[in-house]
Amino acid sequence: MNLGVAKIKKQNVRINFERLKRTIIKSSQIGTIPGDGLCRLALTEEDKIMRDIFMEWMDEAGLKVKIDDYGNMYGRREGLSDLPPVLVGSHLDTQPNGGRFDGIIGVLAALEIIRTLNDNNIETLRPIEIVNFTNEEGARFEPPLLGSGGATETFDKDFIYNRKDREGKTFEEELSKIGYKGEMSNRVKDVHAFFELHIEQGPVLENEQISIGAVEGIQGMTWLELKVTGESGHAGPTPMSLRCDALMAVSKLIVHIEKKAKCSDADTSVTVGRMSISPNVVNSIPKEVIFSLDIRNKDDAVRELLIEDLRKELQEISKVEKVKLEIKDLWEVKASYFHPGLVKQVVSSAKECGYSVKRMVSGAGHDSKYINQIAPTCMIFVPSVGGRSHVETELTLDADIEKGANVLLLSVLEISNNKKIDELNKESLPSY
Amino acid sequence: MNLGVAKIKKQNVRINFERLKRTIIKSSQIGTIPGDGLCRLALTEEDKIMRDIFMEWMDEAGLKVKIDDYGNMYGRREGLSDLPPVLVGSHLDTQPNGGRFDGIIGVLAALEIIRTLNDNNIETLRPIEIVNFTNEEGARFEPPLLGSGGATETFDKDFIYNRKDREGKTFEEELSKIGYKGEMSNRVKDVHAFFELHIEQGPVLENEQISIGAVEGIQGMTWLELKVTGESGHAGPTPMSLRCDALMAVSKLIVHIEKKAKCSDADTSVTVGRMSISPNVVNSIPKEVIFSLDIRNKDDAVRELLIEDLRKELQEISKVEKVKLEIKDLWEVKASYFHPGLVKQVVSSAKECGYSVKRMVSGAGHDSKYINQIAPTCMIFVPSVGGRSHVETELTLDADIEKGANVLLLSVLEISNNKKIDELNKESLPSY
């Protein structure tokens, strides 16, 4: 095989940001909502328009396009061998009040890489496939990650096809309606490596003025629901000494939860995001408070120990406060660990370009979570201004998108010329 | 004047509890809801039925009935003189999920006193008037206490007549419709003293196993609304160290408010009864929390000082927590001080009957609050089982209702034979 072309040009090749920017602007015109945002829910007319354009772009770039039975779109650029391909991509759907970058830059940068390789006549040992996964956001059909979860058989077909939106329309109906129900045989499989460029959706990179995050994995997560029951009563005639005030008790529980989390580990995060109070009247002592607790850590053992401690300690506080505490398990997701060899590659690609880079962990779920179950995977993060995402004002600066796309290009190039993934990395899993 | 009859019989006269009980049972059949409760909103068909029966009962008892322009119903038993009358009563309307006792026993015990005096041929120096005030609860037409507030000119006629229920029907329309729009000239005025028997609506008497509360006044009250603004963000990618979490901050504010209230004064009570969280999603950091704060004390100065301190200290905590705190004044009601001579009379009537009695303060508002502005006033409390009221399971035991009605009888008898209120009490206002 002749690998000479790739080897020679790899060092200096860079993406064409002006061209990438044009694709981002084009995408930003499909599903536009006031305030510079996008509403491009999965399998809607807007999604179809975006898919059609993306299909056209893939055709123009000479890619061989396939659609699988979940509507995931793949475009393949052949390699010099028929070894398993390197997969690159993310998703083109958005939240109802979403931004212009979440997922989108991961797909469009993948396309830009193909165009750049074409411009430079670079051939790779392995094929490269770019991908747009269906319904990553889960904003229309719950849960999120249905496309990547389907392709990796995390969810079965019946489950996915029968997911309904708020109007009762099923995933399958809507997928057929927009003309993107493809073949099961087209599902992604036998992948050498997967890269996903994505906005950070948090404030860490911006805060530390770093351009590139080399993502080592995705935090594990537990969702609990805590129900605290006290006694109601009229705010006037009930002296505080005779009350069992559910909200006063909950305030102490939350203060304790935060304190405990801060003592646990700098990477632990806890969030009480949802709360309901009953009867919720100015002059009635709250009888019942129900609140959610989201606990995350990159290390499952740390998270589990924290939860075990909290279960005991919150009961003790509740006893002192004379209220009843019930804890319900809502959801648990184990931590994901990306491939250390690929993480190392991202770091070294960033350094090669002279960009600042930081190893970090993703707090949010991504398609990479499921693809990681079937293939070595790694994500590349670029900064989110103000840490904002899932809002119209979501923003990643041009310079950062360009850097992220270049790191993606160099990483994909390197790995697509690699015969076996294991040759590249002899390291063990990271110690976290 | 011949006061002999009253003087002789007063010592031993007692109400007829079986008869009083029958009127309570009759009342409990009008507006019945599941769970032994009542829904008898002001100026509804149910209220009309109850009023018609009460009217009949007053007629049968030989009372001269008057209705004023707010639908307040008065029944007068003449005295041996035309000195200003002693007024006794409360209200017959209920909350939508109300009980069978709140207000009702105050009106029906007043009727029972008349019947008892009739039975025993007891004449009094002063006339005795019994009263049913309109819309005490404020559950249909806000605010509460419209009848007594109107009669005492606390609210003006336009304001009251234009109060609307949730369907847009006005107070005036509905008052006319049920046939209880009377004459302005019938409004209560020139009253010697007012007594109101009422359930405690709190747990204090039951907790201390005392039958009678001699109510010295009504707590002053402040309602504030606090709005805390932080920054939202995705629960996953935003490390706790970079958050401005509105709910974490609010939990600390509430813990501080409770601690401060408990240090302030045993009579202080603070309640955070209502709270809303935005965006209120499990995996979103709360951006905004709005909560109510109800602060009560029998001493306005203590309450005002507490609020002044809290305004400063809560701002300091908010600064540390990196959130913005805005405090809005919703409502303030000054404390009411009932007539010390009448309070003393209630204590001595209870002792005369051999009942346990305690001086206390009302945490809730009552018609007595407004009547106290135009005449010497006092309330008599009887225990609420479990401190419950404004619920279907509201309960006051028969024995306690009987005791309360007897204390009311003896107090009314004593005061209605009294020429000038000032002769009875040379004491100054209580020192609280």
Residue that is last in its domain, among B290, B307, B333: B333
Chain B interface test: which of A223, A250, A271, A328 (most B C-beta within 10 Å) = A271
What is the pLDDT, as a whole number, of residue A4? 45
Pair (A315, A374) in one structural domain: no
User: CATH number of the domain that B242 lies in?
Assistant: 3.30.70.360
Pair (A303, A370) in one structural domain: no
Q: Is residue A429 part of a domain?
A: no
Asked whether B84 and B126 are in contact (CB, 8 A), the reply is: yes
Give tens-digit pLDDT for B153-175: 999 999 999 999 999 999 999 99
What is the pLDDT, as a whole number, of residue B12? 86
User: CATH number of the domain that B394 lies in?
Assistant: 3.40.630.10
Tell me how close the Cα of A187 comes to any Cα of chain B, in angstroms.
29
Asked whether B214 and B346 are in contact (CB, 8 A), the reply is: yes
Element (H, E) at A221: strand A220-229
What is the pLDDT, as a whole number, of residue A421? 62
What is the pLDDT, as a whole number, of residue B270? 97
> How would you classify residue B6: left for phi > 0, otherwise alpha for psi between -120 and 50, otherwise beta?
alpha
Q: Is residue B129 part of a domain?
A: yes
DSSP string, B191-259: -SEEEEEEE--SSHHHHHT-SEEEEEEE-EEEEEEEEEE----BTTTS-GGG---HHHHHHHHHHHHHH
CA distances from A229 to A282, A333, A405, B253 (A): 18, 28, 52, 21
Residue B282 forms contact with A (CB below 8 Å): yes
Residue B329 forms contact with A (CB below 8 Å): no
Pair (B41, B63) in one structural domain: yes
Counting one residue from A and one from B, how many pairs have CB atoms under 8 Å apart?
205
Pair (B35, B90) in one structural domain: yes
Residue B188 forms contact with A (CB below 8 Å): no
Q: Is residue A431 part of a domain?
A: no
A200: chain B residues, CB-CB within 8 Å: 237
CA B378 to chain centre: 12
CA distances from B405 to B108, B372, B402 (A): 9, 21, 5
Cβ–Cβ gap B236/A365 under 8 Å: yes
Pair (B97, B209) in one structural domain: yes
Pair (A65, A29) in one structural domain: yes
Cβ–Cβ gap A237/B201 under 8 Å: yes
Residue A103 forms contact with B (CB below 8 Å): no
Q: In tens digits, what is the pLDDT along chain A, a chain of 432 residues?
A: 444 445 545 568 999 999 999 999 999 999 999 999 999 999 999 999 999 999 999 999 999 999 999 999 999 999 999 999 999 999 999 999 999 999 999 999 999 999 999 999 999 999 999 999 999 999 999 999 999 999 999 999 999 999 999 999 999 999 999 999 999 999 998 999 999 999 999 999 999 999 999 999 999 999 999 999 999 888 999 999 999 999 999 999 999 999 999 998 888 999 999 999 999 989 899 999 999 999 999 999 999 999 999 999 999 999 999 999 999 999 899 999 999 999 999 999 999 999 999 999 999 999 999 999 999 999 999 999 999 998 899 999 999 999 999 999 999 999 999 866 655 544 433 333
Among A residues 194-213, those touching chain B with beta carbons less than 8 Å apart: 200-204, 207
Pair (A86, A20) in one structural domain: yes
Burial class for B427, CB neighbours closer than 10 Å (0-12, 13-18, 19+): exposed
Amino acid of residue B100: R
Q: Which of A385, A361, A344 is nearest to A100 (CA)?
A: A385
Number of domains comprising chain A: 2
Mean pLDDT of B213-233: 96
Q: Is residue B430 part of a domain?
A: no
Residue that is last in its domain, among A332, A365, A386: A332
Give tens-digit pLDDT for B259-273: 999 998 888 999 999
Pair (A309, A417) in one structural domain: no
Pair (B277, B406) in one structural domain: no
- Pick the residue from chain B with its C-alpha nearest to A238: B202
Residue A294 forms contact with B (CB below 8 Å): yes
What is the pLDDT, as a whole number, of residue A7? 52
CA separation for the pair A174, B132 (Å, rounded): 64
Q: Is residue A102 part of a domain?
A: yes
Pair (A227, A257) in one structural domain: yes
What is the pLDDT, as a whole number, of residue B421? 62
Residues 6+ apart with CB under 8 A from B219: A236, B267, B269, B296, B297, B298, B335, B361, B362, B363
Q: Over 50: is that where the pLDDT of B384 sits?
A: yes
Pair (A154, A120) in one structural domain: yes
Q: Is residue A432 part of a domain?
A: no
Pair (A342, A328) in one structural domain: no
CA separation for the pair A328, A293 (Å, rounded): 10
Cβ–Cβ gap A277/B274 under 8 Å: yes
Could you tell me the residue range of the domain that residue B253 belongs to? Answer: 220-333
Tell me how close the Cα of B329 comes to any Cα of chain A, in angstroms.
13
Chain A interface test: which of B205, B244, B251, B263 (most A C-beta within 10 Å) = B251
CA dihedral A390, A394, A399, A403 (to 10 degrees): -10
Q: Over 80: is that where the pLDDT of B383 sits?
A: yes
What is the pLDDT, as a whole number, of residue A153? 96
Q: Is residue A225 part of a domain?
A: yes
Measured over the CA atoms of residue A109, residue A115, residue A119 and residue A121, the dihedral's sign is positive
Whether the link from the prior residue into A279 is cis, omega within 30° of 0, is yes
Q: Is residue A54 part of a domain?
A: yes
Give this prediction's pTM: 0.87
What is the pLDDT, as a whole number, of residue B10? 55
- Pick the residue from chain A with its C-alpha nearest to B259: A248
A284: chain B residues, CB-CB within 8 Å: 271, 273
Residue that is last in its domain, among B297, B318, B333: B333
What is the pLDDT, as a whole number, of residue A233? 87
Cβ–Cβ gap B280/A274 under 8 Å: yes
Mean pLDDT of B308-324: 98
Cβ–Cβ gap B203/A294 under 8 Å: no
| Closest residue to B363, CB basis, from A236, A364, A388 | A236
Cβ–Cβ gap A247/B275 under 8 Å: yes
The encoded tokens of residue B346 equal 């209630």
Q: What is the ipTM of this complex?
A: 0.86
Mean pLDDT of chain B: 93
